[in-house]
A and B are shown apart, each in its own frame.
Chain A
Amino acid sequence: MGTRVEERKRVFRAPTITGLVVGLLGISAVFAVRALTPGLGKWSLPNQLQDLLTLSISVIVESLPFVILGILLSIAVQVWIPDRWIMRVLPRNAFLRRTVISFLGIFLPVCECGNVPLARGLIVKGFTVSESMTFLLAAPILNPITILTTGQAFGFGSWVFVARIVGGFAIANILGWLFSKHPDQDSLLTDRFAAECRLPDAHEHDQTRWQKSVELFTRECGVIMPAMFIGSLVAGLVQVAVPRAILLGLGSNPVWSILAMMALAFVISVCSTVDAFFILPFASTFMPGSIAVFLVFGPIIDIKMLTLMRTTFTARVLVRLTVIVGLLSALIGLVINYVA
């Protein structure tokens, strides 16, 4: 036991602390530079760089509360809620089990940023990777905040609302089913996270729950913070580099508008809890199917989410995930554009 504890410390402590420091320093630096440079006169940053910082900060400000909330919920699930509570209520039939898992977001209402640490916690707790993935993909859409904001923005009986709810459920379950076919669920995870999951709890018997919670919080922050820092910077960079007018110019074409909205969702990385109101002004320019695509594709696949998910899943999994979610979202949008 003593050897395993030492091994665990060696594996996790250094990268965790480094990650946490890099993440916190990076995020602080972005805020500091944005706040200080406008007062430097001719030494201030060029407009485009200031836009980049502003856009990155907006992604961070929007995501950070949900990331922290997600980490806290993840800790609650891992440390404070007994295994049997969650596992007992889930059906044994795989299809029904994933169906129920799709709706866990109703009780754990965080946006997609917070769902990544929570999904990691569920894997540690005993969910299979495909089940955790079902939760990760469904929860950003099938949660009360997102349902309410989407309904308020577009109407509870609108095509866009129905497409988002039904589409989010369908995409999560199709991908959950698909990845459940994989015989080696561990191989879907990054080596580091898989190793973390395989190792026994080092302090199972000699740590209090509070100590475990603090350690988990530090560890998750160390993993998630750098990803969020990098993801927000990339999201800001792409928004500055790609003129939004180009995307909007495609809005009147039933096919190109789908791709334009997918690209917009991918680039701006806005959270699912507020994206309905973000996209509402575009509803007069873009077709309803395109708007639905933005609201279905965005919460699952965007720059920030891919960066966050990369902490957990392999690049190959993320590529397949992106392709299938993209195809399913496009299909939903095209069907709506054709029928509505």
Chain B
Amino acid sequence: MTHTSIEPNRGSGTAGGASDRPYRRALATTVTTLVVLVAVFAGLNYLQGPKLASAQVDSSRVVAQSGQQLRLFANQSITAVRKSQVRVTPASPFTVSSSGDVIAVQFSNRLLYGTSYTVKVDGVGNGAQPRTTNFAYSFRTPAAQVYYLDRADPRTGGPDEIVKTSLTGNARTVVYSAPRIQQFVVFPQAIAVTTLGDDGTSALSLVSLDKGFVAKLLLPGSGTIDELQGANAAGVVGLTFTSSGPAAEREFNDTLMTVNLTGAQTVDPVLDLAGKPLQVLTWSFVTGSPSIVAQSTDQTVFLIDPTKPGSIVPLGQYQDLGGSAPDGKSIVVSDIYGKIAYSLSSGKETRLPSLPMAGATTYGGEAELIGSGTARVQQVAVPDSTGSGRYQSFLVLEDGTQTRMLFQPADEKGSIQGFSVSPNGQYVAVNVIPDFAASVSDNYAVDAQSTSISTIFIDIKSGTVVRSVTGFEESW
């Protein structure tokens, strides 16, 4: 065997007189040093409480959907955290759960756009160490982005445009353009668009947001589409379809249909209690779910789960049906006495009286609930103070005790055409025609609109106008 090592070789032994004192000294020094270091760090660890190792939150989703979570990961397992230990700034309703090394703060409502949130957890301990620590985590939600439809002026021609814009600047991006766009709804990956052909019939297309690919969906025959809406989280499109031809010969007449974009993407009618296609006056998705509330032609309001065949529950007969609250737990209906908040879980009805504004009587119109109670944005009409018998239209915030003006047209010529509240209840978009009498229609066969319509975005809390665009059909 060959030994080329320069270290002491095997077989040299101590017989030659080599002392093992350096080895013993090195061994003792090493062990002693390590014992001291281990003791020091063991002490430091014992006296140190849990630490926040990382956090996880989808800042885009927290403004788009309720029930989103912020997860705080401690560097070790911790004792259960109570709600009283947690503070969210700015305040927003939440629930807390903890397991192992994770604290989950679940936001009951959507958070505000463009806002810095700080979540503090006090007194986090692990039961094995004497010291507790405080966790703090901050994140900023993205600014609101909104899509709207900017139809071309019929006098100048050109395609209609679906525009994406922010409420914090003036930048606008055209995400899709085509002749005669009727309506659209935005999903995370695609836009569902209805367009009108030269013969006045509708087409339904899916446009991918990243590549711009367009795929036409097969309709159940020739006809027109209206009331296009989307259930974002579930990936379901809903619409009403009316077949072409004389009314008496139509196969479908204002028939409610859905398209599951995550499935076969076929346009299927929603069936009524008798198993026949459901004809509706109006309808909407329940916020945050694929469930539908629809008002049939005999004014009965149904709650329908399109994912479960036969799941259709009549809620009662009402004069009108509005949208659902941001938490999806109640809807707005109306009878001859006015608007009602209807609880989908208990069936309880809560009147939404139209409160006087500056001493003047108000008459309530369309309303959208903005919280879990009866707070709402509502369009109201107020008699002209001159006694002319005319009414002026306002958009107000009603919180149940008082009424605050959000918007009124610049003068009596103006008209509020509609409005929608952002999913988190932070902004309201108001569709306004500045001079209704002089406005010119674009003469579309379905959903004709004034060429002068514009949309004004208002911060509900402050009442300030944050943005104004030429167009309508805003989609949050």
Query: Which residues of B lie under 8 Å from residue A330 when comparing CB positions?
Result: 38, 42
B37 at the interface (CB under 8 A from A): yes
Mark interface residues in A247-263 (1 if CB within 8 Å of B CB, else 0). Answer: 00001111111000000
CB B55 to nearest CB in A, in angstroms, measures 15
A337 at the interface (CB under 8 A from B): yes
Q: In whole angstroms, what is the CA distance A148 to B321 when docked?
A: 60
Q: In whole angstroms, what is the CA distance A235 to B8 when docked?
A: 36
Query: Which residues of B lie under 8 Å from residue A335 when comparing CB positions?
Result: 41
Query: Which residues of A lie under 8 Å from residue B37 when comparing CB positions?
Result: 331
Query: Which residues of B lie under 8 Å from residue A197 when comparing CB positions?
Result: 1, 10
A284 at the interface (CB under 8 A from B): yes
Binds B, one of A31-39, A122-130, A302-310: A122-130
A338 at the interface (CB under 8 A from B): yes
CB A213 to nearest CB in B, in angstroms, measures 17
Given contacts A178-B26, A183-B19, contact A251 B77 (CB under 8 A): yes
Q: In whole angstroms, what is the CA distance A327 to B13 when docked?
A: 29
Q: In whole angstroms, what is the CA distance A175 to B358 when docked?
A: 87
Total residues of chain B contacting the partner, CB 8 A: 46
Contact A182 B20 (CB under 8 A): yes
Mark interface residues in B57-97 (1 if CB within 8 Å of A CB, else 0). Answer: 00000000000000000011110000000000000000000
Closest A residue, CB atoms, query B101: A284
B18 at the interface (CB under 8 A from A): yes
Closest B residue, CB atoms, query A129: B10
Query: Which residues of B lie under 8 Å from residue A93 when comparing CB positions?
Result: 6
B44 at the interface (CB under 8 A from A): yes
Contact B41 A87 (CB under 8 A): no
Mark interface residues in B1-30 (1 if CB within 8 Å of A CB, else 0). Answer: 111111111111110001110110011001
Contact B5 A182 (CB under 8 A): no
Query: Which residues of A lie under 8 Å from residue B10 when comparing CB positions?
Result: 123, 128-129, 185-186, 189, 194, 197-198
Given contacts A128-B7, A253-B126, A324-B34, contact A181 B45 (CB under 8 A): no
Q: Which of A83, A323, A338 is the most central at the interface, judged by chain B CB atoms within 10 Å of its CB?
A: A338
| Of B2, B34, B101, the contact of A328 (CB 8 Å cutoff) | B34
Q: In whole angstroms, what is the CA distance A129 to B23 when docked?
A: 14
Q: In whole angstroms, what is the CA distance A335 to B44 when docked?
A: 9
Contact B2 A83 (CB under 8 A): yes
Given contacts A253-B126, A337-B45, contact A184 B14 (CB under 8 A): yes
Q: In whole angstroms, what is the CA distance A328 to B8 when docked?
A: 25
Query: Which residues of B lie under 8 Å from residue A252 when comparing CB positions?
Result: 76-78, 126-128
A131 at the interface (CB under 8 A from B): yes
Given contacts A128-B5, A340-B75, contact A186 B11 (CB under 8 A): yes
Contact B11 A92 (CB under 8 A): no
Q: In whole angstroms, what is the CA distance A123 to B101 when docked?
A: 47
Which residues 86-132 in A have Cβ within 8 Å of B in the complex?
87, 90, 92-94, 97, 123-131
CB B56 to nearest CB in A, in angstroms, measures 13
Contact A324 B1 (CB under 8 A): no
Q: In whole angstroms, what is the CA distance A126 to B14 when docked?
A: 19
CB A82 to nearest CB in B, in angstroms, measures 10
Q: In whole angstroms, what is the CA distance A209 to B374 when docked?
A: 92
Q: Which of A128, A251, A320 is the most central at the interface, judged by chain B CB atoms within 10 Å of its CB?
A: A128
CB A197 to nearest CB in B, in angstroms, measures 6
Contact B20 A184 (CB under 8 A): yes
Q: In whole angstroms, what is the CA distance A333 to B101 when docked?
A: 18
| Of A177, A180, A200, A327, the contact of B34 (CB 8 Å cutoff) | A327
Q: In whole angstroms, what is the CA distance A201 to B1 when docked?
A: 8
Contact B100 A126 (CB under 8 A): no
Which residues 232-246 in A have Cβ within 8 Å of B in the complex?
none
Given contacts A87-B2, A131-B5, A340-B75, contact A255 B45 (CB under 8 A): yes
B35 at the interface (CB under 8 A from A): yes
CB B278 to nearest CB in A, in angstroms, measures 48
Given contacts A127-B5, A252-B77, contact A327 B35 (CB under 8 A): yes
Contact A183 B14 (CB under 8 A): yes
Contact B9 A128 (CB under 8 A): yes
Contact A338 B48 (CB under 8 A): yes
Closest A residue, CB atoms, query B44: A338
Query: Which residues of A lie under 8 Å from residue B100 when comparing CB positions?
Result: 284-285
Query: Which residues of B lie under 8 Å from residue A200 when comparing CB positions?
Result: 1
B31 at the interface (CB under 8 A from A): yes
Given contacts A178-B27, A184-B12, contact A338 B1 (CB under 8 A): no
B129 at the interface (CB under 8 A from A): yes
Contact B7 A180 (CB under 8 A): yes
CB B39 to nearest CB in A, in angstroms, measures 10
Q: In whole angstroms, what is the CA distance A180 to B13 when docked?
A: 13
Mark interface residues in A283-296 (1 if CB within 8 Å of B CB, else 0). Answer: 01101100000000
A270 at the interface (CB under 8 A from B): no
Closest A residue, CB atoms, query B29: A178
Contact B18 A285 (CB under 8 A): no
Q: Which residues of B are at the interface with A, using a C-beta cutoff of 8 A?
A: 1-14, 18-20, 22-23, 26-27, 30-31, 34-35, 37-38, 41-42, 44-46, 48, 51, 53, 75-78, 100-102, 126-129
Pull 27 A–B residue pairs with CB atoms less than 8 Å apart, ordered by A.
Answer: A87-B2, A126-B3, A128-B3, A128-B5, A179-B23, A181-B23, A181-B26, A182-B8, A183-B19, A184-B20, A198-B11, A201-B1, A251-B77, A252-B77, A252-B78, A252-B128, A253-B126, A254-B129, A284-B100, A287-B76, A324-B30, A330-B38, A331-B41, A335-B41, A337-B45, A337-B75, A338-B44
A-B interface, 10 closest residue pairs, ranked by CB to CB distance from nearest: A252-B77, A183-B18, A334-B41, A327-B34, A253-B128, A181-B23, A254-B45, A186-B10, A87-B4, A182-B23
Q: Which residues of A are at the interface with B, using a C-beta cutoff of 8 A?
A: 83, 87, 90, 92-94, 97, 123-131, 174, 177-187, 189, 194, 197-198, 200-201, 251-257, 284-285, 287-288, 320, 323-324, 327-328, 330-331, 334-335, 337-338, 340
Q: List 19 extra interface pairs beyond A181-B27, A184-B20, CB under 8 A.
A: A92-B6, A181-B22, A183-B8, A183-B14, A185-B12, A200-B1, A201-B1, A253-B128, A255-B42, A285-B77, A285-B100, A327-B35, A330-B42, A331-B37, A331-B38, A334-B38, A334-B44, A338-B44, A338-B48
